Amino acid sequence: MLTTVTFSLLLSAFASVLSAEVFRFSSYYGNHMVLQKAPAKAVVWGFGQTGAKVVVSLSGSKNVSTTVINGIWRTTLEPVEVGDPYNLTASQSITNSSITLTDVLFGDTWLCSGQSNMAFTVGQVINATEELALASKFPDVRIFQAALAHSDEELIDLARVEVPWSRPTAELLGGKQFSHFSAVCWLFGRYLYKTLKYPIGLVHSSWGGTPVEAWSSPRALHKCGLMKSVLPVQSYFMEGASTNWNSSVLWNAMIHPLLNMTITGAIWYQGEANANYNRDKYNCSFPVMIDDWRMAFHEGSDGQTPLGFPFGFVQLSTYLKNNSKDGFREIRWHQTADYGYAPNERMKNTFMALAIDLPDDRSPWGSIHPEDKQDVAYRLVLGARAVAYGEKNVSFQGPFPTHAFLEQDFIYIVFNQGIEQGIAITNDRFFEICCSEDKACGSGGKWFHVDIVKHGLYYVIVSTPQCPAANITAVRYLWTDWPCQLKACPIYSSDGLLPAPPFILAITKQ
pLDDT at 83 over 50: yes
Higher pLDDT, 360 or 176: 360
Alpha-carbon span 334 to 282, nearest angstrom: 6
Quick one: pLDDT at residue 237? Answer: 52
Going 281 to 477 to 314 to 262, the CA torsion angle's sign is negative
pLDDT digits (tens, 9 = 90+) for 135-156: 999 999 999 999 999 999 999 9
Report DSSP state, residue 398: -
Alpha-carbon span 170 to 146, nearest angstrom: 19
Q: Which residues pair with 108 in a beta bridge?
A: 200
Q: How confident is the model at residue 355 (pLDDT cuts 50, 70, 90)?
A: very high
- Judged by phi (left if over 0) then psi (alpha if -120 to 50, else beta), residue 264 lies in alpha
Q: How confident is the model at residue 7 (pLDDT cuts 50, 70, 90)?
A: very low
* Cβ neighbours, 10 Å, residue 388: 22
pLDDT at 9 over 90: no
Alpha-carbon span 190 to 51, nearest angstrom: 43
Q: What angle do CA 155, 160, 162 make, to 5 degrees?
A: 135
Least confident of 96-110, 145-159, 441-455, 483-497: 441-455
pLDDT mean over 114-118? 96
Quick one: pLDDT at residue 283? Answer: 98
pLDDT mean over 306-326? 90
DSSP one-letter string for 416-478? SS-B-SSS---SSS-EEEEE-TTS---SSS-EEEE-EEEE-SSEEEEE--SS-GGGEEEEEES
Alpha-carbon span 56 to 9, nearest angstrom: 30
Question: What value does the mean pLDDT of the chain take?
Answer: 90
Quick one: pLDDT at residue 122? Answer: 96
Using CB atoms within 10 Å of the CB of residue 325, give its burial: 0 to 12 exposed, 13 to 18 middle, 19+ buried: exposed
pLDDT at 447 over 80: yes
Alpha-carbon span 84 to 23, nearest angstrom: 27
Segment (H or E) for 503: strand 503-509
Percent pLDDT > 70 in the chain is 90
Quick one: pLDDT at residue 153? Answer: 96
Question: Could you give the 3-state DSSP secondary structure of residue 244?
Answer: strand
Q: Are 400 and 414 in contact, with CB atoms under 8 Å apart?
A: no
Q: How confident is the model at residue 4 (pLDDT cuts 50, 70, 90)?
A: very low
Quick one: pLDDT at residue 254? Answer: 98
Higher pLDDT, 322 or 47: 47
Using CB atoms within 10 Å of the CB of residue 213, give its burial: 0 to 12 exposed, 13 to 18 middle, 19+ buried: buried
Domains and CATH numbers, the chain: 4-104 (2.60.40.10), 106-388 (3.40.50.1110), 401-509 (2.60.40)
Alpha-carbon span 233 to 249, nearest angstrom: 14
Quick one: pLDDT at residue 444? Answer: 61
pLDDT digits (tens, 9 = 90+) for 15-54: 444 444 699 999 999 999 999 999 999 999 999 999 999 9
Quick one: pLDDT at residue 469? Answer: 86
pTM: 0.93
Higher pLDDT, 510 or 21: 510
Q: How confident is the model at residue 420 (pLDDT cuts 50, 70, 90)?
A: confident
Q: Residue type at 115?
A: Q
Alpha-carbon span 398 to 51, nearest angstrom: 57
pLDDT mean over 452-472? 90
Report DSSP state, residue 384: I
C-alpha separations of 156 from 151, 206, 300 in Å: 11, 18, 11
pLDDT mean over 388-408? 95
Least confident of 115-129, 271-285, 332-346, 455-469: 455-469
C-alpha separations of 257 from 10, 57, 186, 261, 297 in Å: 15, 24, 22, 9, 10
pLDDT mean over 299-311? 97
Using CB atoms within 10 Å of the CB of residue 439, give its burial: 0 to 12 exposed, 13 to 18 middle, 19+ buried: exposed
The torsion angles phi and psi of 369, rounded to 5 degrees, stand at: -120, 75
pLDDT mean over 354-381? 96
Residue 80's nearest CA partner among 119, 30, 41, 23 is 41
Alpha-carbon span 185 to 167, nearest angstrom: 14
pLDDT mean over 172-197? 94
Residue 385's nearest CA partner among 395, 400, 376, 375 is 395
DSSP one-letter string for 166-227? E---HHHHT-STTTS-BHHHHHHHHHHHHHH-S-EEEEEEE-TT--GGGGS-HHHHHHTT--
pLDDT digits (tens, 9 = 90+) for 174-183: 988 888 899 9
Quick one: pLDDT at residue 423? Answer: 67
Task: Give the helix ranges, DSSP H, for 261-385.
Answer: 282-300, 328-334, 374-383
Q: How confident is the model at residue 396 (pLDDT cuts 50, 70, 90)?
A: very high
Alpha-carbon span 159 to 296, nearest angstrom: 19
pLDDT digits (tens, 9 = 90+) for 222-270: 999 997 766 767 665 544 455 788 899 999 999 999 999 999 999 999 9
Quick one: pLDDT at residue 120? Answer: 96
